[in-house]
Amino acid sequence: MPLVELNGIHINYEERGRPDGAPILLTHAYAATLQMWNPQFDALKDYRVIGWDMRGHGGTDSPPDQDAYTEKLTVADMAGLLRHLGIEKAVIGGLSLGGYISLEFQLAHPEMVRALILCNTGPGYRKDEARAGWNEFSIGYAKRFEERGLDGFGRGIEIDATREYQRSAQGLAFAGRGILTQRDANVMLNLEKIDVPALIIQGADDERYKAGCEYMAAKIPNARKVVIEKAGHAVNLSQPEQFNAAVLDFLRDNGI
């Protein structure tokens, strides 16, 4: 898979589908890699689909400095990758952390976003104590990688599907502390300003993100929410046919 040097690091990415198709950039969940989107690459063969690895994940570099892992830098990596590929505007999508970062990207670069695909994710937290609880969870996950190395993974089919591609436990720990944690309610407070179509996909069995998906569907003006039954967090892996159908219907209904 190709590497490109951006913002002082080498970023691993993969392009699939038609070079002249409408671009779609997919961002993986925390502690996963671009390979979690394998079931989507073939289904979206008429589009130009780009998967990539965030800092500290998979084939992308893992800088040895905690300050190199932030939401802002991750968004800059996404923008830089699209520019490197000559893409001015794309459908931006992701699952879990990848979905939250997609929202961050939309706020920073609305001119580069044609539509959003937000899968089992949330817009953050309005109350400081709720955000502190999330950050405690995130830092706890990071500590597992610091203490147990690459044996520190949690459970999840997205983890099982991508674990073999991980190279740096310290990179995952840094990403957990610097990218997975949240600092403010900026995303939540700006949902009503999103002026592109948004598809929100919720796995019916993923209780952690149910409220977040419902909130986004209520606040984003042009949002469509699809609930997929018998699906947990990694809905794109557990129910790929239903997931792919929802995505394709959304794209076609919006002329993409």
What is d(CA 190, CA 151) in angstroms, rounded to the nearest whole number? 38
Looking at residue 175, the DSSP 8-state letter turns out to be H
pTM: 0.96
Q: How confident is the model at residue 63 (pLDDT cuts 50, 70, 90)?
A: very high
Helix (H) or strand (E) holding 211: helix 210-219
Q: Is the confidence at residue 152, as pLDDT, over 90?
A: no
Beta bridge partners, 249, equal none
What is the arithmetic mean of pLDDT over 46-53?
99
**Helix runs in 21-63, H state only:** 38-43
Number of domains within the chain: 1
**Cβ atoms of 68 and 171 closer than 8 Å:** no
Q: In the structure encoding, which two tokens stand for residue 180, read together?
A: 């997975």
Looking at residue 177, the DSSP 8-state letter turns out to be I
Looking at residue 96, the DSSP 8-state letter turns out to be T
Q: How confident is the model at residue 159 (pLDDT cuts 50, 70, 90)?
A: confident
pLDDT in tens, 8-34: 999 999 999 999 999 999 999 999 999
Question: SS3 for 36-97, per residue?
Answer: HHHHHHHHCCCCEEEEECCCCCCCCCCCCCHHHCCHHHHHHHHHHHHHHCCCCCEEEEEECH
What CATH number does residue 89 fall under?
3.40.50.1820
Looking at residue 150, the DSSP 8-state letter turns out to be G
Q: Which domain holds residue 27?
A: 3-253
Beta bridge partners, 15, equal 50
What is the arithmetic mean of pLDDT over 132-137?
96
What is d(CA 48, CA 88) in angstroms, rounded to the nearest whole number? 13
Q: How confident is the model at residue 194 (pLDDT cuts 50, 70, 90)?
A: very high
* Residue with the two structure tokens 């569907």: 217
Pick from 113, 101, 133, 100: which is nearest to 212 by CA? 100
What is d(CA 236, CA 46) in angstroms, rounded to the nearest whole number? 18
What is d(CA 60, CA 137) in angstroms, rounded to the nearest whole number? 24
* Residue with the two structure tokens 């001015």: 88
Q: Is the confidence at residue 40, as pLDDT, over 90?
A: yes
What does the longest C-alpha to C-alpha distance in the chain come to?
49
